[in-house]
Structure 1
């Protein structure tokens, strides 16, 4: 398969996986608190990645550890808690829509901080995609007037962290294999996640007696394996073979998947949201370009 086709295949698979993550978070929160969910997601993902890539840890160079830790914090640790907190007040599909700010922030941070150039077509693609996202947000707010959109701040902050992470991987970790990056990320994350879990009520009798607890653990395990462990490896590969903006444009397609899950879960999907989804796909197409030169 050619490199171009492979990029789009990765983008499609990641969209399915991450687009499904929001409904899994929503279901996990029925039996877990946001802090329990965030900590468990990191711990379970870490166990999966250690099993797959512990042999690659010894290949990591000492100077790379700084960027691996920062990448792990921005790309996994903090957002795992922030998204869980956000979904206690905002519908899962709306959260996925807000997550579409990642490509815009990737361009802004890439230019301002990492000195990564973007073409006019790439910027146009982000703007078109952002217009589609804005329509989805406005329609979602109309359909869900009782949601507390102040919690959107947690999602917006996460998009800034994701944008920083994708630029860090492309700029400073492009020579490190995707599985090694993912495994290295979680070496530094599992211990603090476990400490946070100790300060919750996770180990109390009341938690285990919660009728929703068992299914919540199933959901968070599926979320950790597919939505974090496998997705992190695939995403790192996508960043390596494409541009930061193209890789982050997966967040433009994710809301379509999330909205479909929401529809199956009893949420409303309007014709206008369908049109917005088409606009988003157009933005993803326009954002694709040849790899830029780095200074």
Structure 2
């Protein structure tokens, strides 16, 4: 059975609200992605602290070895998560990794993040993998708005752009959230706040994902990059307004950091990432950041 939300609050550093005392490790095993977000720029480097960035891309077997090393260095690690640098459902890498971790380190909480395009059709696999918490990024529930944030999707080998692609994405996100929530898995939704585009739409997103079964809602301020590099980041007033709008419908998640896809350690207290990867190269997949 997946961990309850109250259990996650006690052991998962991203869910506890009184300061992290436990650690997590993000395993960068998923380089490929199936949607083209206009603000996303995946990269291999050691300097940026944001989602979509990693110093290494690992095979599932390598990731399992890294988990063992991480626990030796930092016994406070209680969570193994997969958050990219691409999408976790765009390949089988996440499921292979969780299967290995489940066999070798069954005590660890397992969490993953996804854009949700394939969540509806792969929900049974997510449930079977023993995931305790799932984060889905939902940036709009209106296809006209989503189409301004996402250039296209890759859907069963076909590139679909504009409103048509956005409609497919949103339908699969909401249907997938519903399936996962009904299985008892805690669902958190992330929304990247781009005030000019979806700032006035936050209440609709929050209402829709709450109705589908999400328990927590996290507003992530835009980091201007890629095709939205000239878009201003939201200011404090805009973030607060978005939080007030969302809070009418769902419990807010207020202590998120922009974590890398290879982050490891106790958030805000220790970072063991460089220790983990000191003796290995850029990873078995190199810089193969494909869409497909």
TM-score over 0.5 (shorter chain):
no
What TM-score results when the alignment is normalised by the length of structure 1?
0.26
What TM-score results when the alignment is normalised by the length of structure 2?
0.26
Greater RCO (Cα-Cα under 8 Å, separation 6 or more): 1
Q: Which has the larger radius of gyration?
A: 1
Larger strand fraction of residues? 2
Larger helix fraction of residues? 1
